[in-house]
Every structure is written in structure tokens, then in C-alpha cells.
């Protein structure tokens, strides 16, 4: 699973990524506590006729973990620096959760580097109590495990709709053995700082963005309420809004076919 990973300097951090295929680039940004492996099933469906750049964002996976700098400005600065370093723009940005926020903001700030955005299960107007609960879960995830099997059991309980192969990828990509214990690669302090940064709304960026945007929400999402999704879709009549039946928040892993179809649709739209 970990074959093909490499690091690249993007501004002040080194980011771990997997760069595959050819053609217009699609940069794939994961959510809070996750890593580039959450996109594997989507990448497989897109195939080698699309250039996919799946990235561990700062504080996550095998990328740099600075002591601070987990607000929107730092995350979005990394994405901009990465596209410039790879020389692959204008790209499609496809982001899940935290990655969706970053995709919309970078798309609004740098239309010269971004041709379109697919924002999966994160929007403006997420309620404060939702982020309070997310912070509690993030803090609870900072723990060690005796074995990979124990991690799988924990993740199956935490993500009940996630397919078994996606759970196994989370174990392989997201944890490291230290002595007799396994612990998450996502830095605990960075995760708390990330959730704090998500409390700053980005409705202005969503309203002002000048490139095509597709919004995707899982029908049973515990992060994006129907109210928040409708309010965001209402910001702009040209937004495409897609609800994925039977999925909760983790749409790229639970419904990779739908997410890959929306990315292909965006690629065709922007030519």
C-alpha cells in the first residue's frame, strides 16, 4: 500500500504524496486525522488517464508536523505551494472535510492555479456544537494500541459504514509501531489546532469563488447538516449539489464510485 510515496518541499513544510497517472492533475486532500490513503479507491477508479496527486496535509500522515500553524491560511498556503512546486496547475482540487475547506479557499484565492473544486462533506455554516463534538473525538483518538487488529476493531466501531478494505487502509497508512505499541501518525496537538481553525467560517470564499464547484454530502453526515448544505448551495445558483444516499461523512471511502464520477464530470466541464 505504501509504494510510490515521496516527499516534496512546499513552502515551509515537506509534504508526503503519491503522484500517479497523466493528464490534467487532480489534487486530493483528506480530512482531519486522515491521510492520503483515504483516496486510494477513488484513484483506482480514475485510472492512469488522470494525474492524481494524493497528499498528506501538514500535521498528518508522513508530512511535516510543525508545532503550530494549523489555521486555514497555513493549510491553504501549503496547497498553493505544492501546486506551484509541481508545476501542474490549473488543477482540480478534490477535498474531503478539512480538505474541502482548503479546496474552496484556494480555489477562491488562486483561480490561476485551480480550474475547479469538488468539495466533499464540508461546507460553511457547520454548527459550533458539531465542531465541539469533533474536537472531543479528535482528543479521544490520541491513544496507543497493542496490535493492528485492535486498531481495526476500534476503527470499525468508529466508522460503521466504512468498507473493510478502507478500514485496513486506514490502519496501514495512519499508524506506526513504536516499541510494543501502535500509535496514530496524525499529531495530537496538530489535530486540536486543526479543529480550532475549522471554527473560522469561509462563506466569503464560497460566495466569491470564480471556478466551478461541486458540493457533495453524505445523506447521513454527522458533520454537514441538511441546513448547512442547503445554505451553502444557496450561496451560488451555479453550485452543483449532490447528496450521496446511504453514506455518512466518509464519502470518498464509502462511495468512491460517486466521488470519482463527480471528479470526472468536473474534468469534462473544465475541458
Question: 24 by DSSP, 3-state: which?
Answer: coil
- The answer to whether 30 is a known catalytic residue is no
Cβ burial of 158 (10 Å; 0-12, 13-18, 19+) is middle
Among 60, 96, 182, 249, the active-site one is: 249
- Residues 6 or more apart whose CB falls under 8 angstroms from that of 238 comprise 212, 213
Among 78, 121, 187, 248, the active-site one is: 121
Among 40, 60, 78, 97, the active-site one is: 97
Altogether, the residues listed in the chain come to a count of 271
- The answer to whether 208 is a known catalytic residue is no
- Going by DSSP bridges, is the β-strand pair 181-184/175-178 parallel, antiparallel, or unpaired? antiparallel
Question: 1 by DSSP, 3-state: which?
Answer: coil
- Fill in the DSSP letter of residue 57: P
d(CA 248, CA 161): 7
- The answer to whether 165 is a known catalytic residue is no
Strands (E) across the chain are located at 5-10, 13-20, 25-29, 51-55, 91-96, 114-120, 175-178, 181-184, 213-218, 240-244
| Spatial contact of 55 and 76, defined as CB atoms under 8 Å apart | no
Q: Which residues are catalytic?
A: 97, 121, 249
Amino acid at each position: 500500500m505504501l509504494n510510490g510515496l515521496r516527499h516534496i518541499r512546499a513552502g515551509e513544510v515537506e509534504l508526503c504524496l503519491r503522484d500517479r497517472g497523466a493528464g490534467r492533475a487532480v489534487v486530493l486532500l483528506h480530512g482531519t486525522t486522515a491521510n492520503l490513503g483515504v483516496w486510494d479507491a477513488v484513484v483506482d477508479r480514475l485510472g492512469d488517464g488522470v494525474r492524481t496527486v494524493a497528499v498528506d496535509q501538514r500535521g498528518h500522515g508522513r508530512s511535516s508536523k510543525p508545532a503550530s500553524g494549523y489555521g486555514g491560511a497555513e493549510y491553504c498556503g501549503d496547497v498553493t505551494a505544492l501546486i506551484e512546486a509541481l508545476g501542474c496547475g490549473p488543477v482540480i482540487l478534490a477535498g474531503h472535510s478539512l480538505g474541502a475547506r482548503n479546496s474552496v479557499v484556494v480555489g477562491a484565492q488562486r483561480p490561476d492555479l485551480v480550474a475547479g473544486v469538488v468539495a466533499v462533506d464540508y461546507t460553511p455554516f457547520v454548527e459550533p456544537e458539531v465542531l465541539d463534538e469533533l474536537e472531543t473525538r479528535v482528543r479521544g483518538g490520541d491513544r496507543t494500541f497493542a496490535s493492528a487488529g485492535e486498531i481495526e476493531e476500534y476503527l470499525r466501531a468508529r466508522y460503521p459504514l466504512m468498507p473493510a478494505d478502507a478500514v485496513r487502509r486506514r490502519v496501514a497508512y495512519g499508524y506506526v509501531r513504536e516499541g510494543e505499541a501502535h500509535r496514530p501518525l496524525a499529531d495530537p496537538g496538530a489535530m486540536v489546532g486543526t479543529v480550532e481553525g475549522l471554527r473560522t467560517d469561509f462563506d466569503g470564499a464560497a460566495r466569491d469563488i470564480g471556478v466551478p464547484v461541486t458540493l457533495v454530502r453524505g445523506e447521513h453526515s454527522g458533520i454537514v447538516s441538511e441546513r448547512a448544505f442547503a445554505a451553502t448551495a444557496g450561496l451560488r445558483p451555479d453550485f452543483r449539489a449532490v447528496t450521496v444516499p446511504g453514506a455518512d461523512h466518509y464519502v470518498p471511502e464509502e462511495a468512491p464510485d460517486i466521488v470519482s464520477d463527480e471528479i470526472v464530470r468536473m474534468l469534462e466541464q473544465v475541458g
